[in-house]
């Protein structure tokens, strides 16, 4: 029955795409929140008015989106222009290993590639083909609820020592349900890698091989465990008991009981807007006492790509150029997909005061600090999905199903398997 339903879904997706082409529409897909949807649709409307090219838009929240897009690409019925995650450039390929995305070097006469720095374009280049245009770069950084820390009689943490000391003080002065920071399983994984890179100064993966031993990873897991042991962050059972799908929807975040996060710089507005009134949300700093090195990585936050199956690739390229490089597109999109990488768009938004100040502050700190490279398979579904290796290891450790050594072996084995997969 499951296979039958999957076949019906694939057929339906294919028919949808064919219908869109038959109507003469350029199709465009993206995910995001309401503010991104509104800004993007306004930019699409402006593009249609400026060019006369019709665009059919499809968008939704992130949950389930990657699986849905996988069906489209598997059935060769993908949208003409797609907002993509960086790792999709490596995972969405056909049986012969050919990409599902069009080489944008072929439309460089339409898309002004000179507006993007070479390093960012290199991250979207696979086997010499530019498979997407990076919209923004992002990385993880600390954010703090200054109001809650002041309530505990503390300044926001400037060091790891400050953060560790805050845990017991929160419990004593505010109560056992107050924590300096809240971390989901994937947040813990990224923070652990950041910590280890600060200590050892080496990339997580090199030449498709895990660059850390089980013993070194166990050291990182011991650091994560110490955060729970010292009442710095809630355990996985505690977070599960909160009953929220995501941290920004967790009442304890909204009320200020969870006073910190380690999140993407582009997520500032989402978490700030979720707070109840009367709370001050600020961008934190990286901790220099984690180690001798500046750990952490930046990545392409998201990108725009053209499907190989797009019937009118020149029109698709014109849409990307309008959204990323035109004055009208930049003013309408602002920082809804992060701080614009396009030099022209960035200049326009800065001049008109259109960038979210906290996102801009966080992004500047991320780009100035992070020194390590990101492995393309770090975000593979088998690793980062809720039933993946990262969740198994981190939640298993927090639930006390695994020892630190067992969790380390799960990470080593799971990551190695993904790296060695065809």
Q: What distance in Å separates the CA atoms of residue 252 and residue 259, rounded to the nearest whole number? A: 9
Question: Rounded CA gap, 333 and 298, in Å?
Answer: 22
| CA atoms of 394 and 413, how far apart (whole Å) | 14
pLDDT values of the chain reduced to their tens digit, one per residue, 422 residues: 444 444 444 444 444 444 344 345 899 999 998 889 999 999 999 999 999 999 999 999 888 899 999 999 999 999 999 999 988 998 898 888 899 999 999 999 999 999 998 888 998 999 999 999 999 999 999 999 999 999 999 999 999 999 999 999 999 999 999 999 999 999 999 999 999 999 999 999 999 999 999 999 999 999 999 999 999 999 999 999 999 989 999 999 999 999 999 999 988 888 999 999 999 999 999 999 999 999 999 989 899 999 999 999 999 999 999 999 999 999 999 988 889 999 999 999 999 999 988 989 999 999 899 999 889 899 898 999 999 999 999 999 999 999 999 999 999 999 999 999 86
Scan for tokens 């850390």, then name that residue: 212
What phi and psi, each to the nearest 5 degrees, are found at residue 239? Answer: -65, -40
Q: Which residues of 153-167 are buried (b: 16+ CB within 10 A; e: fewer)?
A: ebebbeebebbbebb
Q: Quick one: which of 335, 380, 344, 343 has its CA closest to 362? A: 335
Q: Do 178 and 259 touch, CB atoms closer than 8 A?
A: yes
Cα-based distances in Å from 252 to 30, 301, 335, 385, 405: 30, 27, 27, 24, 32
> Token pair for residue 185?
């399983």
According to DSSP, residue 392 is labeled H
pTM of the model: 0.79
What six digits make up the tokens of 416?
A: 């190695």
Displacement of CA 6 from its chain's centroid (Å)? 28
């Amino acid at each position: 029955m499951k296979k039958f339903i999957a076949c019906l879904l694939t057929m339906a997706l294919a028919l949808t795409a064919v219908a869109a082409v038959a109507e003469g529409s350029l199709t465009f897909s993206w995910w995001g929140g309401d503010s991104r949807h509104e800004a993007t649709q306004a930019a699409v409307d402006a593009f249609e008015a400026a060019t006369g090219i019709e665009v059919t838009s499809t968008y939704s929240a992130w949950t389930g989106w990657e699986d849905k897009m996988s069906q489209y690409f598997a059935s060769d019925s993908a949208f003409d222009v797609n907002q993509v995650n960086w790792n999709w450039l490596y995972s969405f390929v056909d049986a012969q290993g050919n990409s599902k995305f069009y080489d944008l070097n072929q439309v460089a006469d339409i898309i002004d590639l000179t507006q993007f720095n070479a390093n960012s374009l290199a991250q979207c280049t696979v086997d010499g083909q530019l498979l997407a245009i990076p919209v923004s770069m992002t990385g993880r950084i600390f954010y703090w609820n200054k109001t809650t820390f002041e309530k505990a009689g503390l300044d926001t943490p400037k060091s790891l020592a400050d953060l560790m000391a805050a845990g017991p003080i929160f419990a004593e002065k505010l109560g056992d349900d107050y924590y300096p920071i809240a971390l989901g399983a994937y947040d813990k994984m990224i923070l652990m890698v950041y910590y280890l890179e600060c200590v050892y100064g080496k990339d997580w993966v090199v030449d498709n091989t895990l660059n850390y031993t089980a013993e070194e990873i166990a050291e990182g897991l011991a650091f994560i465990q110490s955060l729970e042991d010292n009442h710095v962050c809630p355990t996985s059972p505690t977070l599960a008991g909160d009953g929220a799908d995501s941290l920004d929807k967790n009442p304890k975040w909204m009320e200020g009981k969870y006073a910190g996060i380690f999140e993407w710089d582009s997520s500032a507005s989402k978490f700030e807007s979720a707070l109840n009134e009367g709370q001050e949300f600020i961008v934190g700093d990286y901790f220099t006492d984690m180690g001798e090195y500046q750990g952490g990585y930046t990545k392409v936050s998201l990108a725009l790509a053209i499907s190989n199956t797009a019937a009118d690739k020149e029109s698709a390229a014109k849409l990307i150029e309008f959204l990323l490089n035109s004055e009208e597109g930049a003013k309408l999109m602002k920082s809804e997909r992060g701080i614009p990488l396009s030099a022209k768009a960035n200049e326009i938004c800065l001049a008109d005061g259109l960038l979210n100040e906290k996102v801009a502050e966080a992004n500047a700190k991320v780009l100035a600090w992070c020194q390590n490279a990101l492995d393309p398979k770090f975000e593979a579904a088998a690793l980062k999905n809720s039933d993946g290796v990262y969740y198994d290891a981190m939640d298993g450790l927090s639930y006390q199903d695994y020892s630190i050594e067992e969790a380390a072996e799960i990470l080593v084995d799971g990551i190695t398997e993904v790296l060695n997969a065809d």
